Structure 1
Amino acid sequence: MVTVRESEQGRRAVEVKPGPGRDRMGFHTTEEDGELRVLPADMVPYLAAKRLDPSLFSVTGLIEQGYDDAKTDKLPLLFVYDGMATRTATPLESVNGRAVSADKRTIGQLWKSLDEERASLSQGVAKIWLDAKVKVSLDHSVPQVGAPEAWQAGFDGKGVKVAVLDTGVDAAHRDLAGRVKQTKVFTGDESVNDAHGHGTHVAATIAGGVGKKGVAPGAELIIGKVLGDDGSGTLSGVIEGMEWAAAEGASVINMSLGGDVTDGTDPLSVAVDNLTERTGALFVVAAGNDGSAYSVGSPGAATSALTVGAVDGKDAIADFSSRGPRLDDAPKPDLTAPGVGIVAARATGTGMGQPVDEHYTAASGTSMATPHVAGAAAILKQRHPEWKAGQIKDALVGSARTVAGQQVDDAGAGRLDVARALRQGVTATGVVNLGKHQKGEGTGTAEDTITYTNATAAPVTLALSSTLEGAVLSAQSVTVEAGGTAEVQVRVDLAKLSFGRYGGHVTATAGAETVHTTLALTWKGPQHTVRFTAVDAAGRPTSTDTLSMFGASQQDDVFTWVPEQGLTVEVSEGTYMTQAINLASGWGRMHPRDGLVVIPELKVDRDLEVVLDYRRTSPVTVKVSEPVEQVGIFTYFTHRAFGSRRISQGVMNFDVVEGLNVSPTQPVSQGTFEFASRWQLIAPKITARVAGSTYPMGFLGGSPGLEGRHLWRLAEEPTARAARSP
């Protein structure tokens, strides 16, 4: 059981009581940017091997999602299986997974079933995820994206099936009457009725009519209620809804919702990519409302998703709109659409957003931008019924209106322009990821191919230009034959660039025809290897229970452990807050001690070998006037502030550990560093008297707790007596 209390200056006090069968387990805590994680020491190898979802140990996240003990005695998990388990045997086929509800009272048995030696899971399970909550991501905007011009050309999405996976729908609203063709509930609620308001607003933005027209008023809506009336749902419920929508033949699937920031390998993103490849359906997904770099959430992180940021009525990026790139530096979002002050249908009895009257409400968010793009996709699908997801995505991205001063990682290709997408006869590869590169690795160049497709009846000659620094095109112009394709190579000599992040566009023009491709790459400084070995108090090789390295950004961090034979990690050049903890095993003593080796500023400017030497640590002593001993939980902490980072790490252990040794440190040259420890001291529980003299004694590690007062006679240890025998 983890108890969290708010302390002074915004910090949190944490108390841990191990569950049944987990007595005297040590715990490691990390706190940064308001997120608190509490990690049992024996789970570190599974996190390092990426077998367990870190969200399982995010106490703040679990509380925010209502998974704390006060609200539920279950912990929802998502088991994803390896290739040995057939997809037909798992209910969530798109991710080869299964939702499991674990009883918190017996969850210790699950941890005991893990293979500690190999850090692997049993029964074909490749990874255990928290079945986390997924939440909603919140009239002038329809003309802003060019929809009326598309209607005048005869295209309003008629006959195209669009799925909305959200909080349900008020199907009786005058703007949606007769437009909802099919519904299904994935939340356990009794009906698809929208008591939140978000889903109704989104659905009407796509296909509303009568009072306020949506972007594609002729589209047919199918509604999957994957978020409850509180605006949240589970990963597994959302995946079920995605599979249902794709199986029902939806050509476009709108997901104005989001989860954690990821690199695109999370279950929701994997489901998007697999279902897109299998069915050709286009998933249009909100980027998220975090507003900072590297903050695009799942499933918007999926490579095949059309990921949408938000702009206001003047095409300025909304301050809340999540920026890219993806955690692995792949370009996201793909484009933007209006998402500020969007007025659309208000579900009966709801107060979401800022109600205008009983029928309409105004709301802001990438949730509101996303259905504009879903409606545009429906219009293109009507115009080109043979097109699949990739072709629709390329057409919308390539025709978006770029805005001067906006960066690729903020706005992608620019603001949606469905009218231009509809009238253009030439399309191009929408997004080219030129990759993440390290100095000293690879060929020293970044290159890829842009493909142009001409759907018209006449050849088209395109003039080419690029705004990506250092980019060289294989041709300054290219002719694409009628009904044909042509390729152009783009190449960047990385040696000519400074280290950093680069984005831009290749623009192809032919008269009024303009199409562009988004380009992005990252050029990083040298990578270096750091070889860690550890030695105990006697100078023998030992292991550490944790090893953490915190760099300039979270993308540089390492959290793992060091086995007895040592460990080599590869990190970017820079300075790292580094520490390693040995919980009681590195001292060769009957009364064990914890050991902390901390290097507040480990400068990595070349390949290094670092010895974590517990012989060079010093004991932490507490001086009092009378003999005392530690009782209950004792804790110790480090806090490091440098650059934009504020990192607190802590450890909790028990009174079977005699004490703590910590390595001395030098003053830091940048930022601040603090160490603190907290002890609970009482008079010794055991005293021994021999011939009138008192001797200090203590329980051995692993001794059971004792209550009450006891008197024992001292006995000589048998092996010692035998050694003195003549």
Structure 2
Amino acid sequence: MRRSFSKGLFGLLSFVLIFSTFSFGAAANGGSTQVTELPLAEIHGDIELSSNRPTSVIVELTEESIVEAKHKGKKQTKASLKNERDKVKNALTKEVKNADVNREYDYVFSGFSVELPANEIVKILAIPGVKAVYPNVHYTADVVSAEEVSAEVFSPAMMNSAPFIGSNEAWEAGFTGEGVKVAVIDTGVDYTHPDLVHAFGDYKGYDFVDDDNDPQEGEGQYHGTHVSGTVAANGAIKGVAPDATLLGYRVLGPNGGSTEDVVAGIELAVQDGADVMNLSLGNSLNNPDWATSIALDWAMAEGVVAVTSNGNAGPNNWTVGSPGTSREAISVGATQLPYNVYTSDISTSEGVEYPTAKVMGFPSDEELLALNEGEYEFVYVGLGAAADFEGKDLEGKIALISRGGFAFVDKAENAKNAGAVGAIIFNNVEGEHADVPGLAVPTIKTELSDGKKLLDELEAGNNKISFDIAFDQRVEETMAGFSSRGPVTHTWMIKPDVSAPGVNIVSTFPGEGYAALQGTSMASPHVAGAAALLLEKNPNWSTEDVKAALMNTAAGVVDPATGEEYAHNSQGAGSIRIVDALNTETLVAPGSHSFGKFVKSSGKQVEKQSFEIKNLSNKAKTYSFDVEFAGNPDGIKVSTSNNLKVKAGKTQQVDLNVQVDTSKLEPGYYEGTITVSDGVNTFDVPSILFVGEPDYPRVTGAFMEKAEEGYYVGAYLPGGAEVLAYDLYQFNADGTIGDQIGTLGVFENATAPYHEFLWDGKVGGTELSNGDYVMAVYVEQAGVTEYKAYLVTKE
């Protein structure tokens, strides 16, 4: 599908055009005037520059941060940086009277955050000393679901994820994280929790939400306390590094947080002497979040191991979000621990069969099997929203729920809160819907056909149901379906780097409680704790050494549906194994490779890469190398050393040349593995390359937000858009798309990662009534077109 567009109806202010170089002949005096280009700083993100909307941005200075200058062999001081920063701030306040500077940075990032009208941002770009301007994007805690664990049913054995990755054996070997300082950059932490109080000293961190020295978690928040427990709890449960020291940095409030506070948290954690930092937070932008990425990269360079969650938007490729997209930080995907699979038969009245009934998810094997013990009444509650349960008696009964509207985990949670002992969720379209491990109540799923039968039974007065649930098989560790997948746009890197348990993780909850949570937020602190154990044993290791040890020794995770290992962009190098990482005698860094894009239409293209091998043993080792791409395609050839001898305690570089003949290959994604062997042990290094333009989604979301002067309409564009259009349609009561109302805007050359514009709420001069609409976004980019529809609300 291709559309032909005229230029934008609501064109953005284009400073590129305003300040571009041009000349013209001046008739007067027969002379000519040359107008030269005004040098401008770089701006990232397609911000609506013609609006007077108050907008917060991050300003990066050309003057290097203290850490960046240090690593470039230059001298930099806080005083000199302040002087340069003040020059820019003074120039800014002269140009923009109502600019409000908030955070200032000098250690791992050089610059400041400022709020000002969007139409004044262009003035920043021309101020000497400004390098770039970044959007101040929104972050949330990466959690899929949460369930507080009652004291009556809690037992230390429920905290089984740390032992699974080898924590117990590491403790027995004498490594508990003692002397290692881990910063938790999150929603704060309840440092009074009996399992966490040991990990905090007099100085506990900082609260960037309330701007005080008390990082205590805010009322109603629990995320940071749970993450902290996975790292270093030492009481009724034990975290991965139970003797580590913790520092808390509250950068997320009840509604999340933004880049300016996340960068401030990173910077202060480095200055406070953290050895490891955990960021279980993210957004949906598959694009390096520039200011945060810069801060994390320099934190890693300064010797602080930065660990981030990969996001919860899986299982499709390209769903990783920032800061999991960081070039240097360790990004973590989520696995589910081994579990048992059950078959399920359900029965109502005689002669009615439900062949599509399957177990969807459950909190424990015991609660699932308890459904076999009797006959239950079942009650239809629509979509299963909290309001759908009002006025209905669900105590000890089964909730019958339709798919749609919101997440399965919320439906199950609402059923539990209403007193139900189980749920049946039927699909609202043809086919089977996904399994969701760890639901709050035992839940059976059916296809739409069997859902209709259950509704018919209720209509006929047959409201009793029984279950026959039986053990089928055991499934070993698997990737969680919600775990976001890579690659990363622009850098084309494999993400996550590694994986760790992230489903039904029991850890500390504010007060004196415990809770089972799931999400990549829960996986990330397992890796942060593992990094603490590695640094206790190897205090002189670099951040790259820690990352390599975790990646090189990770265990491949097998997809039970195929019997093959998951793709690199699902699991990274695999699920971490602490003891193997502690005992490794070889480090291969970096631990994964992307050879990028091969886009020649014909002929051969060669790309070069290299990695380092570090021999940690006390004797020389000879290493061999084997590189294999899936299916052994004829068009890919890799050349490297056959053998390499590395002396004890030494490091050597290995060069790789990859030759791709695109004429012999179909466009697409090719996955490979570099296998390094010392004759006894092997180390697998994941690799990828792309033939032709990668198949990343051209649009990943859209929004419509009320503003003082209208509505901000926009879309998330991982690779930008050469042509972009927004069409508005009616939304029918039955959930279908109605007639087209009109086109809100057409644009050209929109930049990544998002685009927005101001809409006056009218189509064809007529004000639209408030309500739900369907906004279809059309994108052309790099020879690919995409048209996606999103439900939006005008209010």
TM-score range relative to shorter protein: 0.5 to 0.7
Q: Tell me, what secondary structure is at the counterpart of 2:677?
A: strand
Residue 92 of structure 1 corresponds to which residue in structure 2? 105
Pairing partner for 1:486 from 646, 652, 655: 652
Residue 658 of structure 1 corresponds to which residue in structure 2? none
Amino acid at match of 1:361: A
Alignment TM-score, normalising by the size of structure 2? 0.57
Amino acid at match of 1:78: V
Task: Name the CA shift for 1:433/1:374 in 2 (closer, same or farther; >3 Å).
Answer: same
Decide whether the 8 Å contact of 1:52 with 1:127 is kept in 2.
yes
Task: Name the CA shift for 1:631/1:478 in 2 (closer, same or farther; >3 Å).
Answer: closer
Pairing partner for 2:329 from 296, 305, 310: 305
Q: Give the Cα separation in 1 of the matches to 2:745 and 2:322.
A: 37
User: How many positions carry a matched residue from both structures?
Assistant: 499
- The offset of 1:290, in angstroms, is 1.2
Q: Give the Cα separation in 2 of the matches to 1:558 and 1:311.
A: 38
1:184 aligns with 2:200: no
Q: Give the Cα separation in 1 of the matches to 2:720 and 2:603.
A: 20
1:202 aligns with 2:227: yes
Residue 325 of structure 1 corresponds to which residue in structure 2? 487
Alignment TM-score, normalising by the size of structure 1? 0.62
Q: Give the Cα separation in 1 of the matches to 2:323 and 2:14.
A: 27
1:80 aligns with 2:59: yes
Q: Give the Cα separation in 1 of the matches to 2:747 and 2:223.
A: 49
Residue 427 of structure 1 corresponds to which residue in structure 2? 587
Task: Name the CA shift for 1:127/1:156 in 2 (closer, same or farther; >3 Å).
Answer: same
Residue 280 of structure 1 corresponds to which residue in structure 2? 303
Pairing partner for 2:609 from 448, 455, 459: 448
- The offset of 1:217, in angstroms, is 0.9
Q: Per-residue CA shift, 1:74-129, capped at 9, x if unaligned?
A: 83512323426974444222332212233xxxx2xx625737xxx95445444443
Q: Give the Cα separation in 2 of the matches to 1:578 and 1:442.
A: 39
Q: Give the Cα separation in 2 of the matches to 1:498 and 1:330.
A: 21
Decide whether the 8 Å contact of 1:448 with 1:490 is kept in 2.
yes
More displaced 10-residue stretch of structure 1: 370-379 or 639-648:
639-648
- The offset of 1:157, in angstroms, is 1.2
Q: Tell me, what secondary structure is at the counterpart of 1:466?
A: strand
Q: Give the Cα separation in 2 of the matches to 1:245 and 1:526.
A: 37
Q: Give the Cα separation in 2 of the matches to 1:231 and 1:526.
A: 34
1:93-492 paired onto structure 2 within 5 Å:
93=106, 94-102=108-116, 107=117, 111=119, 114=122, 120-122=125-127, 124-138=129-143, 139-181=159-201, 182-188=204-210, 191-194=214-217, 195=219, 196-228=221-253, 230=254, 232-264=256-288, 266-277=290-301, 279-291=302-314, 292-313=316-337, 314-328=476-490, 329-348=492-511, 359-403=513-557, 404-429=564-589, 430-439=591-600, 444-468=605-629, 469=632, 470-492=636-658
Q: Give the Cα separation in 1 of the matches to 2:182 and 2:637.
A: 39
Decide whether the 8 Å contact of 1:439 with 1:525 is kept in 2.
no
Residue 666 of structure 1 corresponds to which residue in structure 2? none
Q: Per-residue CA shift, 1:519-577, capped at 9, x if unaligned?
A: 222221699xxxxxxxxxxxxxxxxxxxxxx9xx95373259xxxxxxxxxxxxxxxx9
Amino acid at match of 1:205: T
Decide whether the 8 Å contact of 1:46 with 1:120 is kept in 2.
no
Task: Name the CA shift for 1:640/1:632 in 2 (closer, same or farther; >3 Å).
Answer: closer
1:693-704 paired onto structure 2 within 5 Å:
none
Task: Name the CA shift for 1:487/1:53 in 2 (closer, same or farther; >3 Å).
Answer: closer
1:608-623 paired onto structure 2 within 5 Å:
none
Task: Name the CA shift for 1:197/1:113 in 2 (closer, same or farther; >3 Å).
Answer: closer
Decide whether the 8 Å contact of 2:140 with 2:252 is kept in 1.
yes
Q: Per-residue CA shift, 1:317-361, capped at 9, x if unaligned?
A: 11111111111112221111110110001112xxxxxxxxx6210
Decide whether the 8 Å contact of 2:8 with 2:747 is kept in 1.
no
1:501 aligns with 2:669: yes
- The offset of 1:513, in angstroms, is 2.8
Larger Rg: 1
Q: Give the Cα separation in 2 of the matches to 1:526 and 1:53.
A: 22
Q: Give the Cα separation in 2 of the matches to 1:318 and 1:257.
A: 17
Amino acid at match of 2:489: L
Q: Give the Cα separation in 2 of the matches to 1:158 and 1:554.
A: 42
Q: Per-residue CA shift, 1:432-473, capped at 9, x if unaligned?
A: 232222215996123312321111111223343333353534
1:540-689 paired onto structure 2 within 5 Å:
555=719, 557-558=721-722, 645-647=786-788
Q: Give the Cα separation in 2 of the matches to 1:597 and 1:366.
A: 37
Decide whether the 8 Å contact of 1:185 with 1:224 is kept in 2.
yes
Q: Per-residue CA shift, 1:465-505, capped at 9, x if unaligned?
A: 33335353423443322112334333322105432212232
Decide whether the 8 Å contact of 2:58 with 2:291 is kept in 1.
no
Task: Name the CA shift for 1:526/1:275 in 2 (closer, same or farther; >3 Å).
Answer: closer
More displaced 10-residue stretch of structure 1: 516-525 or 234-243:
516-525
Q: Per-residue CA shift, 1:687-717, capped at 9, x if unaligned?
A: xxxxxxxxxxxxxxxxxxxxxxxxxxxxxxx
Residue 698 of structure 1 corresponds to which residue in structure 2? none
- The offset of 1:189, in angstroms, is 5.8
Q: Tell me, what secondary structure is at the counterpart of 1:111?
A: helix
Task: Name the CA shift for 1:42/1:27 in 2 (closer, same or farther; >3 Å).
Answer: farther
More displaced 10-residue stretch of structure 1: 208-217 or 39-48:
39-48
Q: Tell me, what secondary structure is at the counterpart of 1:394?
A: helix
Q: Give the Cα separation in 2 of the matches to 1:269 and 1:641.
A: 27
Q: Per-residue CA shift, 1:180-205, capped at 9, x if unaligned?
A: 23221111166322131100110110
Q: Tell me, what secondary structure is at the counterpart of 1:467?
A: strand
- The offset of 1:208, in angstroms, is 0.9
Q: Give the Cα separation in 2 of the matches to 1:87 and 1:497.
A: 52
Amino acid at match of 1:305: A
Q: Tell me, what secondary structure is at the counterpart of 2:197?
A: coil
1:522 aligns with 2:695: no
- The offset of 1:422, in angstroms, is 0.5
Q: Give the Cα separation in 2 of the matches to 1:479 and 1:502.
A: 30
Task: Name the CA shift for 1:307/1:457 in 2 (closer, same or farther; >3 Å).
Answer: same
- The offset of 1:375, in angstroms, is 0.6
Decide whether the 8 Å contact of 1:438 with 1:526 is kept in 2.
no
Q: Give the Cα separation in 2 of the matches to 1:288 and 1:445.
A: 33
Amino acid at match of 1:275: A
Q: Tell me, what secondary structure is at the counterpart of 2:478?
A: coil
Q: Give the Cα separation in 2 of the matches to 1:135 and 1:113.
A: 26
Task: Name the CA shift for 1:477/1:401 in 2 (closer, same or farther; >3 Å).
Answer: farther
